[in-house]
Homo-oligomer: A and B are copies of this chain.
Amino acid sequence: MVKKVSLKDIAQRVGVSTALVSYVLSGNEEKGRVGKATAEKIRQAAEALNYQPNHIAKSLKTGKTNTIGLIVADISNPFFASIARGVEDEASRFGLTTIIGSSDESAEKLKKLVDVFVKRQVDGFIISPAEHSEETVSYILSLGIPICLIDRHFNSVKSSYVVTDNLESMRNAVTHLVQQGYKHIAYISYESNLRHMRDREAGFKEASREIKSEIFKIHYAKQHIELGDTIGEILAQDRVDAIVFATNTLSVAGLKYLRQHNVRIPKDMNVSCFDSSEVYDFFEHPITHVRQPIDQLAKASVNTVVELIKNPGQQVENRVLHSELVSGGQDADRAVPNR
């Protein structure tokens, strides 16, 4: 183990106090009103000794760790992996290191992660909250730790957040189907009270008002069974002409089911999906889907947290970003013009 050089070593070498060294090396030369010649000598000594400041000591003194905690549902889910990448990149621009945790959509696990991160004294949180985790978010707020929710937020908790306009996104997606002439649309979502889920459902309802529609809800934990059953039922009834999937996991799993049962898209059944996925490229006709601005969500959340760290008394900041509807193919038999 290489011996660490400290401020004291430099101070001794140059023959000044550690205070001076600290001022110079932390860029507060003006504040310490250090002499130019001295400052130069200090810098040279630091260079010569290959001085590496000790973050821990600094943190202990300043109370800042230059760390932010990111908590998502599951880092191995492509959507959150992309979010994580965006957060990591943006945070590093501010000299912030990101620590990551996966809640598996469990409020309890989320709370535990928050406890761990609070103990580690993260300077701020970016969280995609699980259902029923309002209390945990309030708790963070009560500690005065900056937090920005991402992807989802709560009505009852006044925290900063950055989300996609889920209602609008879903309304656009469904309107697109309606305008293509689809008459009976099924909506498949999770059993969830999370705001973003409710917004998507509201968007669906708004856009499907003039046609027939059915809504199906699946339990997150039991989706492997329930999704197949649900789609099977929809197909058996033979009334529905388009299915809307409310999330990326449902979209991919739903498409998989349809493909395995030789349902042709959009000929036998059209679909509209949420989020991007590489599986879409494996269909003959493009798959209509909502593309969320993942990178912007990530960057905006980091920026919000950075602002909150700088100005602790800051107003709550909310950003609602727009998504893009990537328009796919339509059933050629259905000669309704695309808008």
A residues near B, CB below 8 A? 1-2, 52-57, 59-60, 65, 67, 74-78, 81-82, 84-85, 88-89, 92, 97-102, 116-121, 142-144, 252, 255-256, 259-260, 277-279, 281-283
**28 sampled A-B residue pairs with Cβ under 8 A:** A1-B144, A2-B142, A52-B119, A53-B119, A54-B60, A55-B119, A56-B59, A56-B60, A56-B65, A56-B121, A60-B60, A75-B75, A75-B81, A76-B84, A76-B85, A78-B78, A84-B100, A88-B102, A97-B99, A97-B117, A98-B100, A99-B99, A100-B100, A255-B282, A259-B282, A277-B278, A278-B279, A279-B281
**Main SS of chain A's interface residues?**
helix
Question: Smallest distance from the beta carbon of A197 to chain B beta carbons, Å?
Answer: 22
* Contact assessment for A120 and B84 in the assembled complex, using a CB-CB cutoff below 8 Å: no
Q: In the complex, what residues of B have CB within 8 A of residue A54's CB? A: 60, 121
Complex Cα spacing A98 to B101, Å: 8
Q: A99-B98, A100-B100 are in contact. Are A84 and B75 (CB under 8 A)?
A: yes
Q: In the complex, what residues of B have CB within 8 A of residue A279's CB? A: 278-279, 281-282
Residue of B nearest to A57 (CB): B60
* Contact assessment for A102 and B85 in the assembled complex, using a CB-CB cutoff below 8 Å: yes
Q: In the complex, what residues of B have CB within 8 A of residue A143's CB? A: 1-2
Q: A56-B56, A57-B60, A259-B282 are in contact. Are A97 and B84 (CB under 8 A)?
A: no
Residue of B nearest to A95 (CB): B116
Q: In the complex, what residues of B have CB within 8 A of residue A121's CB? A: 54-56
Complex Cα spacing A142 to B256, Å: 50
Complex Cα spacing A99 to B116, Å: 13
Question: Smallest distance from the beta carbon of A122 to chain B beta carbons, Å?
Answer: 10
Complex Cα spacing A244 to B108, Å: 45
Q: In the complex, what residues of B have CB within 8 A of residue A256's CB? A: 278, 281-282
Question: Smallest distance from the beta carbon of A45 to chain B beta carbons, Å?
Answer: 19
Question: Smallest distance from the beta carbon of A279 to chain B beta carbons, Å?
Answer: 5
